[in-house]
């Protein structure tokens, strides 16, 4: 997982998972640009290889920087190809380049905010065993392979909304409602949604808004870049038609590389678009990914919209109130609906 590289100030530790995207991505995309069949083979094998690596690390409960490294380097390399191969053709205005650059900067700023503290609960300091410090037997219980405490009882003291608190057997602390334990980070997070491998961090109460902003700005920037490139490489055709039928795409290597990068961006954008869609639906029903997973496990939720969203019904207060609560995440006190007040 790590290696040491000699440097001026001494040996520097380098995570091995950072290296493959820097080497393999340009090589594979340039190989795919040599022929349409090679492009089909490479672009079909990349998602399969990523899924295999994801399930391998997820099963071993390991954190990896490969997905974050791949995402950041893909942005940099796509931007480089756009400036090197597409802009010199003269069909892209400077204002369009500026708009694409601003979208990229906005996405990176939102991504840096999403990488911040997701809302980790403070870890209690170790104390000497005593009858007062130890929790009662009603709190004690084993924990399943997902890191969720089971066999616990509700705490007698409840929050103002009447929602109880749970005891985390891993962190040895009482966590508020909707908080959960991440088995990859080894910490409890307020309003835990899920652990995102693309940012190598949890998505929780403090960074969920930034996560949605990063996804949204990525979608807009990526679609805009794809449109500009197809308008340049495949003149006279709409972007959707040009994506599947562009006779001059392999007339020269520059056009072939640009067209291959467009397809790579389209595949990544489709995957991120699905993630964004699920996130927006969950917010509309005020349910987190963790709550949806637990509801499916315990068979306590309703499948809606063809199974795209699992409505637990516990926190759903209507579309407007759900979004109002999401937009007020991290503020104190959280917004409450008029119907709840009445």
Catalytic residues: 196
- How remote is the C-alpha of 259 from its chain's centroid? 26
Long-range contacts of 326-331 (CB under 8 A, 24+ apart): 326/208, 326/209, 326/283, 326/286, 327/209, 329/191, 329/205, 329/206, 329/208, 329/209, 330/119, 330/205, 330/206, 330/209
Tell me how far apart the alpha carbons of residues 76 and 218 are, in angstroms, rounded to a whole number: 13
SS3 for 311? strand
Report whether 143 contacts 170 (CB < 8 A): yes
> Residue 168 contacts by C-beta under 8 Å, 6 or more apart in sequence?
149, 174, 175, 181, 188
Bond prior to 173 in cis (omega within 30° of 0)? no
Count of C-beta atoms within a 10 Å radius of residue 57: 17
């Amino acid at each position: 997982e790590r290696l040491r590289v000699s440097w001026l100030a001494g040996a520097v530790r380098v995570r091995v998972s950072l290296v493959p995207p820097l080497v393999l991505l340009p090589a594979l995309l340039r190989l795919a640009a040599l022929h349409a069949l090679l492009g089909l083979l490479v672009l079909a094998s990349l998602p399969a290889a990523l899924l295999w690596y994801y399930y391998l690390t997820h099963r071993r409960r390991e954190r990896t920087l490969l997905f974050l490294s791949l995402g950041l380097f893909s942005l940099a390399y796509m931007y480089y190809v756009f400036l090197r191969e597409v802009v010199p053709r003269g069909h892209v205005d400077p204002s369009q380049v500026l708009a694409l650059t601003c979208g990229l900067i906005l996405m990176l700023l939102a991504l840096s905010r999403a990488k911040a503290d997701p809302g980790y609960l403070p870890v209690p300091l170790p104390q000497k065993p005593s009858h007062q410090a130890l929790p009662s037997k009603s709190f004690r219980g084993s924990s399943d392979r997902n890191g969720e405490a089971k066999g616990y009882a509700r705490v007698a003291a409840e929050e103002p909304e009447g929602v109880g608190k749970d005891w985390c057997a891993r962190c040895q602390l009482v966590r508020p409602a909707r908080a959960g334990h991440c088995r990859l980070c080894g910490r409890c997070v307020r309003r835990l949604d899920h652990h995102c491998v693309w940012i190598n961090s949890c998505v929780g109460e403090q960074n969920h808004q930034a996560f949605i902003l990063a996804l949204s700005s990525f979608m807009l920037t990526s679609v805009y870049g794809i449109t500009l490139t197809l308008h340049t490489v495949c003149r006279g055709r709409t972007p959707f038609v040009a994506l599947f039928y562009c006779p001059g795409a392999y007339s020269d290597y520059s056009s072939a590389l640009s067209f291959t990068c467009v397809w790579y961006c389209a595949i990544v954008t489709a995957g991120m678009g699905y993630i964004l869609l699920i996130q927006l639906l969950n917010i509309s029903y005020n349910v987190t990914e963790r709550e949806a997973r637990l509801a499916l496990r315990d068979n306590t939720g309703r499948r809606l919209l063809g199974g795209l969203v699992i409505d637990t019904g516990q926190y759903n207060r209507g579309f407007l109130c759900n979004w109002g609560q999401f937009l007020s995440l991290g503020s104190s006190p959280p917004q409450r609906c008029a119907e709840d007040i009445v």
